[in-house]
């Protein structure tokens, strides 16, 4: 998808997300700082936590959620007209279902002791990510386009809410 189209899709999601009530957005966010480091618990040798937060975001969360967003919506382009982006075949629905499953688990991985930055809002946002991903998973299972779109918007607002709480300098993400 070209940049203009992606921006359109993203804008549609943001507008949609603005109307959603995400419980964690009302939670008190911790004071902002530019660098975050895990402090919720001492590193636990049961887990391999070699990916730092940036690597985790860039190599786990972003590629997985990008696929979901690529399929969650439509584009209305002045040149090419209306383009529906939803999965069209069983194979495409299976692909987004698998990505949604990965995102459910990525939410868990975000909350691991030693990776979680605190035991408070961080855990709420991580859980909210898994919950929104589970919504995407269920709607992929039933191939429900409207729910799948809403799930994409919810995922986006969880990413944004956590970034606002922990690193407000992240104004753009998931773009390429
Ligand atoms: C629980 C909190 C939390 C959630 C949820 C979250 N992020 Fe992040 N994200 C962060 C933090 C903290 C940083 C800053 C990391 C740093 O620079 O140390 C970050 C940074 C990023 C970055 C920039 C990485 C870089 O190279 O600087 C990207 C991209 C990103 N997140 C994508 C996402 C996406 C996509 C989602 C949702 C699917 C998401 N994040 C959800 C906390 C979160």
The span from the CA of 113 to the CA of 43, in Å, is 7
Provide the pLDDT for residue 76.
Answer: 76
Q: Is the CB of 69 under 6 A from ligand 1?
A: no
Residues 93/140, Cβ–Cβ less than 8 Å: yes
Q: Is the CB of 153 under 6 A from ligand 1?
A: no
The span from the CA of 101 to the CA of 8, in Å, is 26
Q: Is the CB of 167 under 6 A from ligand 1?
A: yes
- Biggest CA–CA distance in the chain, Å, is 55
Provide the pLDDT for residue 39.
Answer: 61
Provide the pLDDT for residue 175.
Answer: 45
Over its length of 176 residues, how does the chain's per-residue pLDDT go in tens digits?
Answer: 444 445 445 555 554 444 444 444 444 445 444 556 666 556 557 899 999 999 999 999 999 999 999 999 877 777 878 888 999 999 999 999 999 999 999 999 999 999 999 999 999 999 999 999 999 999 999 999 999 999 999 999 999 999 999 998 886 665 44
């Amino acid at each position: 998808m070209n940049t203009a189209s992606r921006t359109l899709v993203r804008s549609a999601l943001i507008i949609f997300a603005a109307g959603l009530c995400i419980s964690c957005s009302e939670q008190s966010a911790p004071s902002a700082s530019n660098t975050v480091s895990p402090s919720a618990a001492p590193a636990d040798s049961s887990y391999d936590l070699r990916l730092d937060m940036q690597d985790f975001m860039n190599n786990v969360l972003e590629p997985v959620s990008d696929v979901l967003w690529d399929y969650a919506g439509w584009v209305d382009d002045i040149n090419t007209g209306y383009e529906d982006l939803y999965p069209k075949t069983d194979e495409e629905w299976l692909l987004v279902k698998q990505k949604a499953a990965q995102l459910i688990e990525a939410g868990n991985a975000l909350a691991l002791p030693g990776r979680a930055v605190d035991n408070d809002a961080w855990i709420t946002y991580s859980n909210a990510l898994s919950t929104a991903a589970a919504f995407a998973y269920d709607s992929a299972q039933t191939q429900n386009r409207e729910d799948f779109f809403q799930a994409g918007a919810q995922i986006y607002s969880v990413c944004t809410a956590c970034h606002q709480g922990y690193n407000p300098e992240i104004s753009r993400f998931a773009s390429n």
